[in-house]
Amino acid sequence: MVSARHILLGALALGATAFPATAPVQIAQRTSPSAASLDDAFSAAVKEKRVPGIAAIALNRDGSVLYKNSWGTVNIDDDKSAPITSSTKMNIASMTKSVVAVAALQLVEQDKLSLDDFVEDYYPEWKNISVLDGFTDDGEPILRAPKTKATILHLITHTAGQGYWFLDEGISKWTEWSNKQETKTPTPLAADPGAGWFYGSNIDTLGYVIEAISGLRLDDYIEYNIFKPLGIKNSGFIQADMYTHRRHENGTITATAAPAPISPTAKPGGGGYLISTIDDYSTYLVTLINWGTHPQSGATILKSSTIRKYVFTDLIPVAISGDGTCDFKQQGPPVGIWESNVQTMSLSSEFLPGTKKGWSASLLINKEDVPGRRKANSGAWAGINNLFYWVDLKSGKLGAVFTNLQPFLDPEVLGLFDKLEEFVYAA
Expressed in angstroms, the distance from the first to the final Cα of the chain is: 30
Q: Give the dihedral of Cα atoms 417, 419, 422, 424; nearest 10 deg.
A: -70
Q: Are 55 and 88 in contact (CB under 8 A)?
A: yes
- Please report the DSSP string for 26-94 in residue order: P-PPP--HHHHHHHHHHHHHHHTTSS-SEEEEEEETTS-EEEEEEESBS-TT-TTSPBP-TT--EE-GG
- Would residue 199 show up in a list of annotated catalytic residues for this protein? yes
- Would residue 97 show up in a list of annotated catalytic residues for this protein? yes
Which run of H or of E encompasses 9? none
What is the spatial distance between Cα 27 and Cα 16, in angstroms, rounded to a whole number?
A: 26
What is the spatial distance between Cα 8 and Cα 352, in angstroms, rounded to a whole number?
A: 6
Which run of H or of E encompasses 134? strand 131-135
What is the spatial distance between Cα 219 and Cα 222, in angstroms, rounded to a whole number?
A: 5
Q: Which of 68, 70, 86, 97 is catalytic?
A: 97
Q: Which of 123, 199, 243, 281 is catalytic?
A: 199
Q: Which of 70, 81, 86, 94 is catalytic?
A: 94
- SS3 of residue 317 by DSSP: helix
Beta-bridge mates of residue 257: 244
Point out the residues that are catalytic.
94, 97, 199
